[in-house]
Amino acid sequence: MLSVFRSPQNPFFSPTRTRSFEAIGAFNPSVVSQGSDLHVLYRAMAEPDDLRTPGKGFSTIGYAKSTDGGTTFTSRQQILAPTESWEAYGCEDPRATFFDGKWYVFYTALGGFPFGPGNIRTAVAIGDSPETLTEKHLMAPFNAKAATLFPERINGEAVLLITAHTDFTEDHPRPTIGIAKSKNVEDFWNPAFWIEWHAHLEEHAFPDVRRTDSDHIEIGATPVLTEQGWLLIYSHIQNYYDEHRRIFGVEALLLDRDTPEKILLKTEFPFLVPEESYERYGIVSDIVFPTSAIVTGDRLQIYYGAADTVCATAQLSLSDLLSSMNPSDRLNFVQRTGTEPILKPIPEHEWESMSVSNAAAIDLNGSVHLIYRATDKNNYSMLGYARLDDAVHVDERLPEPVYGPREDYEKHGTEDPRLTVLDNTVYLTYTAFDGSRARGAVTTLSKENFLSHTFDWSKTLVLTPDDVDDKDLCLLPELFDDKALIMHRIDPNICAQLFELPITHGTSSCTEIMGPRAGMWDAKKIGAAAPPIRVDEGWLFIYHGIGSDNVYRLGAALLDAETATIVLSRTSAPILSPELPWEKEGVVNNVIFSCGAVLRNDTLYIYYGGADTSIGVATISKTALIKRLLPDI
């Protein structure tokens, strides 16, 4: 599990009208660190050239230098412009490597217009410094759009990555990331070398890391050497062949140190997708495109182009990224307390004979008390009760439901309960379902009666509008300026509203807190799991998300202490996913869904439904979870 932090200075590099060569775009930065200097080579876009690229910005390569870690830039200038016929229509997307005492800048050469597979090639410029590139060569005699040189020799050889056949043709309908090796780096601009290489393309190709055949991949950053191997940050574009549904994402591969064509680990999902305004809006909307990476200690700094307009950067923990890429680490990050559920349906109890799931949890008088959803054979829901003294093993389970439908708007079921204690009152929020519409409701009970099992709940109040599907209602366990904060979901976003106590009316507004992230594990919709838990750093918020694969997983976010409505950090990878057979198969397959969690000392206990059929519990150190949300990078 990992979190990604965009720089508050983003975009750190933008186009400027005072330099015509970059009047409308300055993006896709290739950043090389040398001592205290950062060298930035970037794609610079001028206004369209009406003779060569009518209606399209004209691209060349720019350069800037920073001596203060990337805060200010000097020496900003154009360093590569078309001088050869094979690049007459533009130079794009540099990837620079300082190798064997020279600078090698690989870039996309555009040899015709309109752009297509017949005129998009790769080229290289070479020089003693990034400002003085004195030599140019066209490389592979086939369609290719991205190439980069490893920054050091591997087993005595120069090693190059290249994305071959980036653009669709009938003969080559999908892109291929391939690897080329030679004792002599000059071979990489020898046409005969590439003719032989291409004749055996399958032997040089990486395994296909796309998740579906509609995805697209392209080399991003020059590989970075780590203790575990070579880290390759690359672009993974979902739904690439439908321009209206494309989702640009940033992903990673870990390659073997000595045999870099061997993939050791890969990301399960993108960890960066377009979310911020400078990523959403620009020359081409909704793009994050990674073009360089730098590792300093445990900090991985990723530089990327945003909306084909500006340069941006984000940082994350390298160790967290590698851990999230490791299947065993992903499985063990949150520890299940056993391989079997702690609560299962009881066939002899008609009201809970088909399933039990989605338990609310509160810690009172030394015991964890669960209120859980239970369904009968007709899929009607009621709420049951169980008590766990050690937070893991069930010590008491009542044979009759403790809450069930009382009103017409919940005649088909009372679902997905959540519990909160304020002063001496227990608040039960839940989903009321009339068979066609889900609505958020609340009822209360004194703490004394709750503990004595005198379940004389107050009259229910519906909090959500009549004409809106609204679920995942929860109440925070502290007051904010003497008001209660209620979270719920106006599909597909989580939002919040403050209420006077006692609560006497429904919602009238909904301030958005967070929403789904296109292309990620929580792409389709999200909702609250347990009510947020107060910690020193703010509010720890466990939530559920559903991806395009329709799998329900859990993630975590940290909300600000003062309002609990500002997201300080959010996991880029899920913390708990369906893994065990009873989590993958049941009434609804592939579901991890939580409505309750309690914190005891440093241990967070998360109660969850598996496959909408049974209930399990998993634990994690609060300190470990906060460290992933706020890594020291």
Distance CA 521, CA 233 (A): 19
Distance CA 150, CA 155 (A): 12
pLDDT reading at 169 higher than 90: no
Rounded percentage of the chain residues whose pLDDT exceeds 90: 89
pLDDT of residue 243: 86
pLDDT of residue 363: 98
pLDDT digits (tens, 9 = 90+) for 143-167: 999 999 999 999 999 999 999 999 8
pLDDT reading at 517 higher than 80: yes
Q: What is the average per-residue pLDDT within 311-324?
A: 96
* Helices then strands, each counted (H, E), the chain: 8, 41
192 torsion bin: left (phi>0), alpha (psi -120 to 50), beta (else): alpha
Q: What is the average per-residue pLDDT within 175-197?
A: 95
- Measured CA to CA in angstroms, residue 80 lies from 91, 105, 126, 286 at distances of 7, 10, 11, 27
| Predicted structure pTM score | 0.93
Q: What is the average per-residue pLDDT within 590-602?
A: 97
- Average per-residue pLDDT in the chain? 95
Backbone dihedral angles phi then psi of residue 325, each to the nearest 5 degrees: -85, -15
- Residues contacting 203, CB < 8 A, separation 6+: none
pLDDT digits (tens, 9 = 90+) for 331-349: 888 999 999 999 999 999 9
Would you say 471 and 416 are in contact if contact means Cβ atoms under 8 Å apart?
yes
pLDDT of residue 143: 92
pLDDT of residue 591: 98
pLDDT of residue 1: 79
pLDDT digits (tens, 9 = 90+) for 260-315: 999 999 999 999 999 999 999 999 999 999 999 999 999 999 999 999 999 999 99
Q: What is the dihedral of CA 68, 70, 73, 77, to 10 degrees?
A: 130
Looking at 2.30.29.30, 2.115.10.20, 1.10.3720.10, 2.40.50.100, the CATH number of the domain 14-332 comes to 2.115.10.20
- Residues contacting 431, CB < 8 A, separation 6+: 414, 415, 416, 438, 439, 440, 441, 471, 472, 473
pLDDT of residue 571: 95
Domain boundaries, the chain: 14-332, 335-629
What is the DSSP annotation of 447-503?
Answer: HHHHHTT---PPPPEE-S-TTS-EEEEEEEEEEETTEEEEEEEETTEEEEEEEPSSP
Highest-confidence segment of 78-82, 431-435, 491-495? 78-82
pLDDT of residue 632: 86
Distance CA 59, CA 366 (A): 67
pLDDT reading at 378 higher than 80: yes
pLDDT of residue 171: 85
**Which carries the bigger pLDDT value, residue 501 or residue 470?**
501
- Residues contacting 502, CB < 8 A, separation 6+: none
How would residue 505 be classed by pLDDT, with cut points 50, 70 and 90?
A: confident
pLDDT of residue 352: 97
SS (H, E, C) 322-340: HHHHCHHHHHHCCEECCCC
How would residue 476 be classed by pLDDT, with cut points 50, 70 and 90?
A: very high
**Fold equal for 14-332 and 335-629:** yes
Would you say 15 and 24 are in contact if contact means Cβ atoms under 8 Å apart?
yes
The domain defined by 335-629 carries CATH number 2.115.10.20: yes
Coil, helix or strand for 369?
A: strand
- Measured CA to CA in angstroms, residue 75 lies from 260, 414, 459 at distances of 35, 66, 71
pLDDT reading at 491 higher than 90: no
pLDDT digits (tens, 9 = 90+) for 44-78: 999 999 989 998 999 999 999 999 888 888 889 99
pLDDT of residue 509: 82
pLDDT reading at 599 higher than 90: yes
DSSP-assigned beta bridge partners for residue 106: 95, 124
**Range in 159-173, 248-262, 306-320, 577-591 the model is least confident about:** 159-173
Q: Give the number of other CB atoms < 10 A from CB of residue 168.
A: 16
pLDDT digits (tens, 9 = 90+) for 222-248: 999 999 999 999 999 999 999 899 999
Rounded percentage of the chain residues whose pLDDT exceeds 70: 100
Distance CA 627, CA 2 (A): 9
Q: What is the average per-residue pLDDT within 592-607?
A: 98
